[in-house]
Amino acid sequence: MRSSELIIFLIITLILYGVINGYILWRGLQAVSSLNLARLIFIIIFVFLVLAFPAGRIINGQFRHHLSEVLISFGAVYLALMIYLVMFLFLKDLVRWGAKIFKMPLAGFGWLSVKSPGSFFAIAGLAVLVVFLGHLNAINPRLKILEIGINKKVPAGTELKAVLISDIHLGIINRSNRLESLVSRVNQLQPDLVFLAGDIVDEAVSLEEEEKMVFWLKKIDSRLGLYACPGNHEYYGGFDKNISYLERAGVTVLLDRAVKVDDCFFVIGRRDRAAASLGEKRLPLKEIMVKDNVDESWPVVVLDHQPLHLDEAAEAGVDLQLSGHTHAGQLFPLNLINKFVYEKNWGYLKKGDTHIYVTSGSGTWGPPVRTGSRSEIVLLRLSFSGEREGGGDK
């Protein structure tokens, strides 16, 4: 994203943020207009929550400090709370306006009044409940089991059990304790190998937290290793530093590169499209396969963070593409929009002989809340249609 585009995006975002919070503040002040103490408390809490996220970002951009982490954590939760506050308040307004227009008996109902503190605090309580349940949903990933048959020959008896995780966004909000729980769940599955489909690492954190992240990533037990492609957030948060965390933990990070694993299948990891922000070129898939001598008679797995231009994998003869990025929308009603942005924003798709799976991710970005999708760990049971005699290229 060019600097001019970034400035325009930030201006639009700040205007939208201001308008939404201005509406919430307006309705809140109307509701507590006759309650002086409640009005003062509301103003103090509201101003703190509204300013917490941008203030925390500014402080964190200048230097690492515990205060910035606290502010960002509170502010991130408020971002989700804000969505449901404005939705529920506006829904109440729609009901009140409709009742007046159509002269319905509800028009005189006291709880529909903008000056009803009871209805305002009930709406606030409902929004808090939605966010709390969404947080529980976010931190308890479900296990998604996917059985895929690949029409390629491999050495006799080869079956693979792989785990796919992505979009953990390790950083200020999703910390090492979340990773510890995730690693425990992965190891219980006893995978042959683990695929990391990007956005594993996100923001700058303390040196102590960095070491904890590396420690827990090293604890993932996988017979054939861990293979990753970068996501866009690895670039945003300082690419070299973020990739170093993964490599120190023993993860093989593939940047437009292919490797042969266990002498029976190829894994290709692609640079994310955000690489252009660093002036790096993302190679076409076919070019990577030619460069690294990928033999298409063997199974080929591609890790590509963003599920865009899915026809490219099918045209290149790839057997399985694994992606993330979308979070399947994460928050309602954004998940409804998300479905129109991507050909496949979550789940399984087959194009020709190519199997594609887009995971909703194992973590969250921004608010540690999911109301429009589920966090997941994906277990891939890969079987093959034929056998080769022994190993090696045939």
CATH at 298: 3.60.21.10
- Counting DSSP H helices and E strands in the chain, the numbers are 11, 12
Could you tell me which of 7, 387, 69, 316 has the C-alpha nearest to residue 208? 69
pLDDT of residue 100: 83
Q: Are residues 16 and 121 in the same domain?
A: yes
User: According to the per-residue pLDDT averaged within each range, which of 33-47, 142-156, 191-205 is highest?
Assistant: 33-47
Q: Are residues 105 and 163 in the same domain?
A: no
Q: Are residues 248 and 383 in the same domain?
A: yes
Q: Are residues 344 and 307 in the same domain?
A: yes
User: According to the per-residue pLDDT averaged within each range, which of 202-211, 227-236, 298-307 is highest?
Assistant: 298-307
Mean pLDDT along residues 23-50: 95
Mean pLDDT along residues 134-143: 96
Domain count, the chain: 2
Residue partners of 300: CB distance under 8 A and separation at least 6: 265, 266, 268, 289, 294, 317, 318, 319, 320
Paired with 300 in beta bridges are 266
Mean pLDDT along residues 268-297: 92
Neighbours of 318 (CB within 10 A): 27
Q: What whole-number distance in Å separates Cα of residue 270 and Cα of residue 283?
A: 8
Model confidence at 119, pLDDT cuts 50, 70, 90, reads very high
Q: Are residues 38 and 54 in the same domain?
A: yes
Q: Are residues 218 and 361 in the same domain?
A: yes
Last residue in a domain, options 136, 160, 187 = 136
- Tell me the pTM: 0.91
Q: Are residues 129 and 147 in the same domain?
A: no
Q: Are residues 217 and 300 in the same domain?
A: yes
Top pLDDT among 386 and 189 is at 189
Expressed as residue numbers, the domain containing 284 is 142-388
Last residue in a domain, options 97, 112, 136 = 136
Could you tell me which of 153, 161, 154 has the C-alpha nearest to residue 381? 161
pLDDT of residue 191: 97
Residue partners of 329: CB distance under 8 A and separation at least 6: 335, 336, 337, 338, 339, 345, 346, 372, 373
pLDDT of residue 321: 98
CA triple 155-160-166, angle to 5 deg = 140
Least confident of 81-90, 276-285, 296-305: 276-285
Model confidence at 391, pLDDT cuts 50, 70, 90, reads very low
Share of the chain above pLDDT 70, in %: 93
Q: Which residue has the tokens 């190891």?
A: 187
pLDDT of residue 108: 56
pLDDT of residue 87: 97
Q: Are residues 347 and 220 in the same domain?
A: yes
Least confident of 129-143, 256-270, 276-290, 343-357: 276-290
Quick check: is 394 in a domain? no
Least confident of 52-66, 140-154, 363-377: 52-66
Mean pLDDT along residues 138-144: 96
Model confidence at 306, pLDDT cuts 50, 70, 90, reads very high
- Position 26 pLDDT exceeds 50: yes
* DSSP single-letter state for residue 286: H
Tell me the pLDDT of the chain averaged across its residues.
Answer: 90
Quick check: is 39 in a domain? yes
> Is 97 within 8 Å of 114 (Cβ atoms)?
no
Beta-sheet strand order (sheet of 226-228) = 142-155, 376-388, 160-165, 193-196, 226-228, 251-253
Model confidence at 394, pLDDT cuts 50, 70, 90, reads very low
Last residue in a domain, options 136, 170, 197 = 136
Q: Are residues 96 and 213 in the same domain?
A: no
**Token digits for 65?**
């400090």
- Position 392 pLDDT exceeds 50: no
pLDDT of residue 69: 86
pLDDT of residue 261: 94
Mean pLDDT along residues 180-200: 96
Quick check: is 223 in a domain? yes
Q: Are residues 147 and 130 in the same domain?
A: no
pLDDT of residue 66: 78
pLDDT tens, position by position, 216-251? 999 999 999 999 999 999 988 788 888 988 999 999
Q: Are residues 234 and 157 in the same domain?
A: yes
